[in-house]
Amino acid sequence: MPSVAIFGDALKRIALGRPMHSERLSETLLRKRIALPVFASDALSSVAYAPDEILLTLALAGTAAYAVSPLVGLGVVLVMSIVVLSYRQNVHAYPSGGGDYEVATTNLGVPAGLTVASALLVDYVLTVAVSVSSGAQYAAAAIPGLRGHEALVAVLVVAGLTAMNLRGVRESGTAFAVPTYAFMVSILAMGAYGLFLLALGDLPPAESADLTARPLPEFEQGLVGLGWGFLLLRAFSSGCAALTGVEAISNGVPAFRRPKSKNAATTLALLGVIAATMMMSILVLAWKMRVHVAEDPATQLLRDGAPVGEEYVQHPVIGQIAQALFEGFPPAFYLVTAATGLILVLAANTAFNGFPVLGSILARDDLMPRQLHTRGDRLAFSNGIVTLAAAAAALILVFDAQVTKLIQLYVVGVFISFTTSQSGMVRHWNRLLRTETDPGERARMSASRAVNLIGLTITGTVLVIVLVTKFRHGAYLALIAMAVLYLIMLAIRGHYRAVHRELSVADDGAAQQLPSRVHAIVLVSKLHKPTMRALAYARASRPSTLEAITVTVSPEETAAFQRDWDAADIPVPLRALDSPYREITRPVVDYVRAIRRHSPRDLVVVYVPEYVVGHWWEHLLHNQSALRLKTRLHYMTGVMVASVPWQLTSSEGGERRLDRRTHHTRRMWGSGPRPISDLLDDERHRGE
């Protein structure tokens, strides 16, 4: 068994790295240049599919509708700007990492906090599922052999992301920083180059420029009527997918270096500017280069008045723009498409940093299992990371990694949290203004309240639009998941509160009362060394009464055992329990239960001899009856079970092997005293 443990520990160390001492927590904190890719990859990656979602929706009204895509994008950018400004207030007012949950709970009460928490948790799971599934589809498009296996590829990617994040926030951020910055630079450079060609009048057409989009019958008369207005709102709500991930920074403030709030607010502002710039440049170029995409291209897209058919391959918007702009320079095209596909996968990393922190805070408040509150070997919230990975993998398998189905569940949760959070912030400022007398501070608080009030109005309006336009397309499933999670958290809190009440020490001191007597029972099956040791330990405890019991499976064997017992002159009476059905556990349990009924105030201690073995396969050959018996006895009030170990020869050296393994791990992975240079670095970083 120790050899298996050593092998498992070695694999764990290779996969996750050396354990980190708690005092090194400050070393895991992030600089702004690393925090940006860690917490903003989700929002930035939305640029890869939010323009597509806008154009796909507008295509239902025909080619003419593409012209309004920049206006829809401006509406999304306006909302993004308001949300970013609002969340800058959040990170300054509530820097503990609770984010929207803390804001809502503190200012609006527990029900509002639970609503936000359930919405965020569902959204984090969807972020991983959507992002990784989208990346898997990009991979399948590039590698034909992967087609039909997208779900398996996506689950494997989730496993890889899980391993990276289990190594720690800083290491995962460093690993993902390069591809995230590569995506930002490539998209911004492509946009700048395209707009430069547009200014010169040399902008090339996209590969789909010669196509047209067939409008649905209700839009054949043009862009008029209520149907067009509803479609415009639907396109806007689809484009608002670009806002997913903005809240992650407010949940991750504790991961920033000092000054935490200032660094988080700066990172949030950078995120807003970069995402808005990239999105608008893509939409403008797509409009001017006449990019045509549709939900069903085979029937909706026309060439010379005829449908393009099933053989037509529709490429994403960014891919079409890059292909046309860099037709004479293929490396640039491959860089843009590779960086885009990679960022879609890495976007899940935002959720891997937000979900565990939020889960830890919820566990602290008794709303989630308390295992989510503790950090692992690498000072990451390991249990939260694994929980998120398992939920996302399950969702991917259920929906077979189909982004078109998963995307419909998206956005609803994030705008529920946006709206509730802004409402909480308005109440936060109202509460402070009631007691603040300094004119300067009152002016600053009033300005902050105005920002959050505008944010509340805008996000609340968008939430209504999203619910109306996306409800029947799948948003109702997300709402059901949030409701179920809400009820689960209530049940968990109820359980912990009931346990707390049950375990609290009563004023009458009933829990501290001594038992009237102690009745000791030693389980024996034959006369050997483990039996003698258990008897010796039981006698050393000086109980009120002591007896040995055995179960009669074979009367002849029991009679022989009794003769050996008497011959050994053991000063403990032996009682044989009848078992006509050859059971071991039930007769013992019934006997102990009878003692408890006869003397309810007595304590019954059952001594169980057990073998200590050295190999995993030996566990299958020993101690099974003892395990079943102990399991039953643990449920009985007033009964204690004492295991008496007997070390077999195969276990010899096990303790030394464990000691050597610990020593080897410390020497190999450096878990001993820290160099003074590390301590000096900590002091220097505290000032940053």
Burial classification of residue 195, based on how many CB atoms lie within 10 Å of its CB (0-12 exposed, 13-18 middle, 19 or more buried) = middle
pLDDT mean over 193-211: 94
Single-letter amino acid, residue 427: R
Indicate whether 679 pLDDT > 60: no
- Residue 605 three-state SS: strand
Give dist(CA 478, CA 490) in Å, integer: 18
Q: Contact 235/72 with Cβ under 8 angstroms?
A: yes
Can you give the pLDDT at residue 666? 46
Q: How far is CA 475 from CA 240, 271, 273, 374, in A?
A: 14, 27, 29, 33
Can you give the pLDDT at residue 47? 79
* Residues 6+ away with beta carbon under 8 Å from 372: 356, 359, 360, 362, 363, 381, 383, 384, 387
**CA proximity to 273, closest of 559, 24, 36:** 36
Give dist(CA 565, CA 474) in Å, integer: 73
Output the DSSP codes for 513-572: PPPS-EEEEEE-SSSSHHHHHHHHHHHHT--SEEEEEEEESSHHHHHHHHHHHHHTT-SS
Can you give the pLDDT at residue 673? 40
- Sign of the alpha-carbon torsion through 577, 579, 583, 587: negative
Give dist(CA 466, CA 483) in Å, integer: 18
Q: Find the angle CA(655)-CA(658)-CA(661) to the nearest 5 degrees.
A: 150
Can you give the pLDDT at residue 212? 92
Alpha helices by DSSP H, 109-221: 110-142, 150-166, 169-200
Can you give the pLDDT at residue 380? 58
Give dist(CA 515, CA 550) in Å, integer: 26
Q: Contact 392/158 with Cβ under 8 angstroms?
A: yes
Mean pLDDT of the chain: 81
Burial classification of residue 67, based on how many CB atoms lie within 10 Å of its CB (0-12 exposed, 13-18 middle, 19 or more buried) = exposed
- pLDDT tens sequence across 147-181: 778 889 889 989 988 887 777 644 455 666 788 88
Higher-scoring residue by pLDDT: 3, 548: 548
- Residue 64 three-state SS: helix
pLDDT mean over 202-231: 81
3-state helix, strand, coil in the chain (%, to 5): 70, 5, 25
Output the DSSP codes for 455-478: HHHHHHHHHHHHHHHHGGGTHHHH
Domains, the chain, in order of start with CATH, read: 23-496 (1.20.1740.10), 511-652 (3.40.50)
Higher-scoring residue by pLDDT: 148, 279: 279
Can you give the pLDDT at residue 683? 40
Which two tokens mark 501?
Answer: 């009440």
Higher-scoring residue by pLDDT: 481, 238: 481
- pLDDT tens sequence across 257-271: 778 888 888 888 888
Give dist(CA 401, CA 467) in Å, integer: 24
Among the listed ranges 16-30, 48-62, 284-298, which one has the minimum average pLDDT value? Answer: 16-30
- pLDDT tens sequence across 621-667: 766 778 888 888 988 888 999 999 888 877 776 666 555 555 554 44
Indicate whether 252 pLDDT > 80: no
Number of residues assigned to the chain = 688
- pLDDT tens sequence across 348-358: 777 887 788 88
Helix (H) or strand (E) holding 578: strand 574-578
Q: Contact 41/349 with Cβ under 8 angstroms?
A: yes
pLDDT band at 60, cuts 50/70/90? confident
Single-letter amino acid, residue 609: P
Can you give the pLDDT at residue 655? 60
**CA proximity to 104, closest of 367, 375, 426, 377:** 426
What are the beta bridge partners of residue 373? none
pLDDT mean over 657-682: 46
Can you give the pLDDT at residue 376? 55
pLDDT band at 223, cuts 50/70/90? low
- pLDDT tens sequence across 490-520: 999 999 888 888 777 665 555 566 778 899 9
pLDDT band at 430, cuts 50/70/90? very high
Give dist(CA 542, CA 519) in Å, integer: 10
Among the listed ranges 272-286, 334-348, 507-521, 580-594, which one has the minimum average pLDDT value? Answer: 507-521
Among the ranges 4-8, 86-90, 633-637, which has the highest mean pLDDT value?
A: 633-637
pLDDT mean over 52-70: 89
Q: How far is CA 359 from CA 347, 350, 362, 469, in A?
A: 19, 14, 5, 31
Note the pTM of the prediction, 2 decimals: 0.70
pLDDT band at 243, cuts 50/70/90? confident
**What percentage of the chain carries pLDDT values higher than 70?**
82
Q: Contact 168/176 with Cβ under 8 angstroms?
A: no
Give dist(CA 9, CA 5) in Å, integer: 6
Q: What is the dihedral of CA 319, 324, 329, 334, to 10 degrees?
A: 10
**What percentage of the chain carries pLDDT values higher than 90?**
29
Q: How far is CA 68 from CA 196, 273, 284, 315, in A?
A: 22, 22, 10, 21
DSSP label at residue 16? H
Give dist(CA 604, CA 517) in Å, integer: 9
Give dist(CA 97, CA 27) in Å, integer: 18
End-to-end CA distance of the chain: 48
Indicate whether 13 pLDDT > 50: no
- pLDDT tens sequence across 93-134: 887 666 788 889 999 999 999 999 999 899 889 888 888 887
Can you give the pLDDT at residue 173? 53
